[in-house]
Structure 1
Amino acid sequence: MVLDPGHGGIDPGAVGPNQTFEKDIALKVAKRAQELLKPYSINVYLTRTNDVYVDLHDRAVFSNEKGADLFISLHLNDYPQDSSVYGSEVYYFDFSESAYARRIAYRENLDLNTDKNLIETWVTDKENSLDESEKFANILASYLNVNGVKFRGVHTAEFAVLAYTRSPAVLFEMEFISNPQVVDEFTNGDYVEVFAEIIKNAVIDFFGLK
């Protein structure tokens, strides 16, 4: 499986109080979740292990080349208009067969006619992964509720990293970095541990390793 700490390098992601960067928190949680999963004989790869920029498409390519059976992209939400907003959201890919075929053809530099069979394979793989993506999203949601984290719902979206990964994939907006209390919990409290533990529990549940 692949954990994808969002942003990195020249791309800080959202910036919270005290110049707290989304990229740094996402990486800390990903590294800690990787540690927590070590006893379960799951190969956990990170799309980045330090503060470097990785292109969105390259993150998906990395996951595909590793033959990942699950992809989790870690992010923090931002709503500076109201710094009291908090809570977690989970996204999986919003699928339309024809639109997806066109998207893959464009991104992979394929021809809709001469490369029809290859494109159909991509489309089938993505379509087949959606039920598992939704399943993992709901498992993750159940562990958020158990841990008392406010859960704002499972949603569909067309994020690039979800589009180009061929495995079940979710994007996890862990919290709102615009909320000073949330930032304090990540920097001085135990939120890195809490969210890493939530990810670990959801993963071992998803793979039936409980």
Structure 2
Amino acid sequence: MSLFRMEASSMSQYTEEVLPYAVRLRLWGGPQGPPNARQMAILRATLDVIPLEHLCLLRLIEARRAGQAPAHGGGHDPAGGVIRLSAESFGKPYNQTLNQTLLHEMGHIVDAGLGGGHYVCTQQIQQMRAQGDADAAALLNTLHRGATPGAIERTADAYLAFVMLRIARAPFVHGAQPGAYVGSEAERRFRVLLETRAGAGLRRRLGLTDDFAATIRDLAHRP
């Protein structure tokens, strides 16, 4: 059950409530939203599939109104544990089961939060590629649908895909490169992600062993 706490800012520009796991939600759109009641339910369901130790890094979700930045998709504060969701993102087809925009931005929060504001998981993947790891190279070379370039976007996409496919057991198609997270292509990228600092929380969320090889075998044979 959610613990609700509504309050108006001193400028009456937004309202806030407390979501599960003590995550604050700042609503800039007023009673008409976004998000509407259904979209709010999707936000709560999305939080439920994120590892608890990763949720500890998330302080605030801002649901922005039309005309506020970001105009599309989402954004984040790498040091402050803040995710911003654009008004238009709530209506996207891929956000109607779980909020994939939130999960992508959560990938950034985990990447940065585990590194004290530095994108430590991405740095680890880059180091793996430099040491000749072909799977790390494949992850970093995966196409990205959003407008923001860079290696951190590939890490966030991998986090999104893992949570959707392996934790939530929900359908997921990578928007820019559909084959990247299917079958063996998914497993090679997940193997890399699980070897970063984010991996411990993901494995524990699934009750998996710390043995990387056993983890990959378990993932590959789950229905």
TM-score calculated relative to the size of structure 1: 0.27
TM-score calculated relative to the size of structure 2: 0.26
